[in-house]
Amino acid sequence: MLESITNFDFSILYFIQENWRTEWLDLICAFLSRAFELGVPWLVLGAVLFCFKKTRTAGAILVCAVVLTFFFNELAIKNAINRERPCTIDPTIELIVKKPTSYSFPSGHTASCFAAAGTLLFTYKRLGIPLIIFSAFMGFSRMYLFVHFPTDVLAGAALGLLMAWVTVLVFRELKYDEKLSNLTFRRNKNERA
């Protein structure tokens, strides 16, 4: 069963390598791989959203969801599954990014993207919908770069959306969403208005 899944995964990866490789996609996918390492842009986005009352709750939930996704994915699931990356199994494909050292399943880049996008889809749809599209492209880029299997990407997307949904539910159940939306930052009395 696992061998047939891996063979199907490889057939998709080889199709991408043979038919869709272009210089401009090389540049975009390699850039995204470096820029979104460890989900740092999502943490920055969460911090920026937190600064505005209208999006404060979304920012806090986004940061929590991305951090939870990282811990579940990188420290638990990947080390429990121990799936080798496609570039390790077939080293004949030349990589345009540095070979990752962690395991393959699920895709961390994809998981963090879908955690952030899912959070905003549940809390601030105006940003959520374009980020879901971006997240899908991020998943494609991981296959394009030959560092993840399609099933790694699907699992990463599912994990990210699940973590976003759970985080939103916890915030709402504990009424943190109301507390954050009513939070105001007071000036020091000694400061001039």
How is residue 152 written in tokens? 């790694």
Is the per-residue pLDDT at 26 higher than 70? yes
Q: What is the pLDDT of residue 178?
A: 60
Residue 59 is part of a domain; what is its CATH number?
Answer: 1.10.606.20
Q: Is residue 32 part of a domain?
A: yes
Is the per-residue pLDDT at 10 higher than 80? yes
Q: Is residue 24 part of a domain?
A: yes
Q: Is residue 187 part of a domain?
A: no
Rounded to whole angstroms, what are the CA distances from 79 to 6, 33, 83, 95? 18, 21, 8, 23
Over range 126-147, report the average pLDDT. Answer: 94
86 vs 56, higher pLDDT: 86
Counting the structural domains of the chain, the total is 1
Structural domain of residue 17, as residue ranges? 2-181
Q: Is residue 190 part of a domain?
A: no
Q: Is residue 192 part of a domain?
A: no
pLDDT tens column, 50-77: 888 888 888 999 999 999 999 999 999 9
Q: How many degrees, rounded to 5, is the angle at CA 141 between CA 123 and CA 86? A: 120
Quote the pTM value.
0.88
**What radius of gyration do the chain's Cα atoms show?**
19
Listed range (26-30, 100-104, 151-155) with the worst mean pLDDT: 100-104
Q: Is residue 189 part of a domain?
A: no
Q: Please, are residues 113 and 127 in contact by the beta-carbon 8 Å criterion?
A: no
How is residue 103 written in tokens? 């395991």
Over range 9-15, report the average pLDDT. Answer: 97
Q: Is residue 121 part of a domain?
A: yes
